C-alpha cells in the first residue's frame, strides 16, 4: 500500500478562531495535494496564558473536534487533530489530548499525553506542563485502512519504551505532533525522530509548532516525515505550511524482513 501523508506546521496563538481558520486552510491544501493522512501539531487550536486555559479548554465534542470531524468526512481523509487542551470534568487541570479521526468523521483513537514536559534549562527554557495538565495513562493505537497508527505527543519522543509498545501492538506509522522548544529541538529533534523510526522500523509523521510563542520562548519547527530506514522524506521550511511524503507499507515490510531486528528482539 502506498499513499501520501502530510505534516502541517503552525504558529498557534491565543486567537482560537484564527487558528482554526488557518488549520482548515492548510488541511484543505494538503488534501488537494493528494494527502490521505493529514496531521496537525500539538496545541494547534489554541495556545495562550495559563490563566486563560480553563476557558479555552474543550470537551471531545467541542467546536474544534467537531470542525475537524466535519473536514475529515468532507475530504475523506484520515485526520490527526494534533492535540487540544481537553477539559477534564471535576478536575482543576486539563489533558493534552490527540485525536485520530477517520474518513467517516468518527474518532478512531483518543490519546492523552503520558509524559508531561517539566524541564528547567537555566537561561533557555523553564516550563512545567504538569502545573496545568494531567498525565494520561493509556498507550493508544488504531487500526486503519492506512495501516495501524500509534499516537504520541511531543515530549513522549524521549521515551523509547512507548514507541516499542506501540510497534509491538502493530503500529506501522507513528505520529508525534509537537511544540518542541528551539534549544532542545536544535539539539535532539531530528536525531530522536530518526532513532524512533530506525529502531521501530516505522514511518513517523511529526508536525510541529514554529516560531516565537506566548510562553516567551521559540519553537523549533522542522516538521518532518521519516521512513523506516531513518531517511527524512520531507522537512518543513522556517514558516507555516505543509509537507507531504509517501507512506509505502510494502517498503516497510521489506525493511523489516531484510533487517529483522523486531523479530529478533529478546526483551518486550
Annotated catalytic residues are 42, 113, 154
3-state secondary structure 115-152: CCCEEEECCCEEEEHHHCEECCCCCCEECCCCCCEEEC
Cα gap 207→235, rounded to integer Å? 10
C-alpha to C-alpha distances, 89 to 45, 57, 84, 93, 135, nearest whole angstrom: 20, 11, 15, 9, 15
Residue where the block lists cell 511544540: 179
Which helix (H) or strand (E) segment holds residue 63: the answer is helix 63-75
Cα gap 203→197, rounded to integer Å? 6
CA 95 and chain centroid, separation? 15
Q: In 10 A of CB 89, how many CB atoms?
A: 5
How far is it between the farthest Cα atoms of the chain?
53
Q: Which residues of 147-157 are buried (b: 16+ CB within 10 A; e: fewer)?
A: bbbbbbbbbbb
CA 94 and chain centroid, separation? 18
Amino acid at each position: 500500500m502506498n499513499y501520501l501523508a502530510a505534516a502541517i506546521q503552525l504558529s498557534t496563538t491565543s486567537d482560537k478562531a484564527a487558528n482554526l481558520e488557518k488549520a482548515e486552510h492548510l488541511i484543505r491544501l494538503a488534501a488537494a495535494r493528494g494527502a490521505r493522512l493529514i496531521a496537525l501539531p500539538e496545541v494547534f487550536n489554541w495556545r495562550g496564558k495559563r490563566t486563560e486555559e480553563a476557558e479555552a479548554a474543550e470537551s471531545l465534542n467541542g467546536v474544534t473536534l467537531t470542525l475537524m470531524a466535519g473536514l475529515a468526512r468532507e475530504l475523506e481523509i484520515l485526520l490527526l487533530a494534533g492535540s487540544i487542551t481537553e477539559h477534564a470534568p471535576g478536575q482543576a487541570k486539563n489533558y493534552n489530548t490527540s485525536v485520530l479521526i477517520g474518513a467517516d468523521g468518527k474518532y478512531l483513537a483518543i490519546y492523552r499525553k503520558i509524559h508531561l514536559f517539566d524541564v528547567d534549562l537555566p537561561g533557555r527554557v523553564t516550563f512545567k506542563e504538569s502545573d496545568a495538565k494531567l498525565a494520561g495513562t493509556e498507550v493508544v493505537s488504531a487500526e486503519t485502512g492506512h495501516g495501524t497508527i500509534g499516537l504520541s505527543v511531543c515530549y513522549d519522543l524521549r521515551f523509547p519504551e512507548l514507541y516499542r509498545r506501540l510497534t509491538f501492538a502493530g503500529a506501522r506509522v507513528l505520529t508525534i505532533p509537537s511544540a518542541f522548544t528551539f534549544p532542545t529541538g536544535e539539539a535532539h529533534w531530528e536525531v530522536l525522530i530518526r532513532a524512533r523510526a530506525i529502531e521501530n522500523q516505522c514511518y513517523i509523521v511529526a508536525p510541529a509548532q514554529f516560531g516565537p510563542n506566548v510562553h516567551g520562548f521559540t519553537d523549533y519547527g522542522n516538521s518532518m516525515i521519516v521512513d523506516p530506514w531513518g531517511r527524512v522524506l520531507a522537512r518543513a521550511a522556517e514558516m507555516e505550511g505543509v509537507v507531504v511524503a509517501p507512506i509505502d507499507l510494502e517498503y516497510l515490510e521489506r525493511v523489516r524482513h531484510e533487517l529483522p531486528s523486531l523479530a529478533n528482539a529478546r526483551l518486550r
